[in-house]
Copies of this chain bind each other. A is one copy, B any other.
């Protein structure tokens, strides 16, 4: 199981790295989570430089893809060279987008006429792309999921684990990252958001 987290120049650190931390709670052979970038290194919206662990081309063959968020997403969707490197198949891959990542899925035509979640700033652009935006943190339809608000990236990661490893594994991963003294309440709320959209 290879999960790529698409992380572009200007990325939002929380959106890529919370998902990465949650997903890496699964410790089993072959389970691999990578920061996936168009270049060998990318620098975040706040100046943090991280090194790529996989390429955009690797994402096309991954088992799951999370499209991260950032301050340059509108430029990305206007760059045919970059968009042309993004090729995903919801029939074969779990596909998830966080905040402005939803705009990328919308522009790739992967949301169809299904509603989606995104952050409050990206909302008008996703609507302009013809997609209904929900006032909730998480939504999924089949193999495609979207989330809005940085911390909802934990729900996105929880959904991927729940779909592939089961609800108990997702609960354990979310329990680990939750604040001490608030763990049960956090997990309960996360599962409340994820459960309606599970296919098993």
User: Copy number of this protein in the oligomer?
Assistant: 2
The answer to whether B152 touches A48, judged by C-beta atoms less than 8 angstroms apart, is no
Write out the residue numbers on chain B whose beta carbons fall within 8 Å of the beta carbon of A136: 180-181
The answer to whether A35 touches B21, judged by C-beta atoms less than 8 angstroms apart, is no
The answer to whether A18 touches B24, judged by C-beta atoms less than 8 angstroms apart, is no
A28 to chain B, nearest CB (A): 14
Q: Name the residue of chain B whose CB is nearest to the CB of A118.
A: B180
A58 CA / B29 CA spacing, docked (Å): 40
Residues of A within 8 A of B (CB): 12-14, 17-18, 20-21, 24, 33, 35, 45-51, 53, 117-120, 134-138, 147-152, 154-155, 176-183, 186, 189, 193
Q: Pull 15 A–B residue pairs with CB atoms less than 8 Å apart, ordered by A.
A: A13-B20, A14-B17, A14-B21, A48-B50, A119-B180, A135-B181, A149-B177, A149-B178, A149-B180, A151-B151, A151-B178, A151-B179, A151-B186, A152-B182, A182-B189
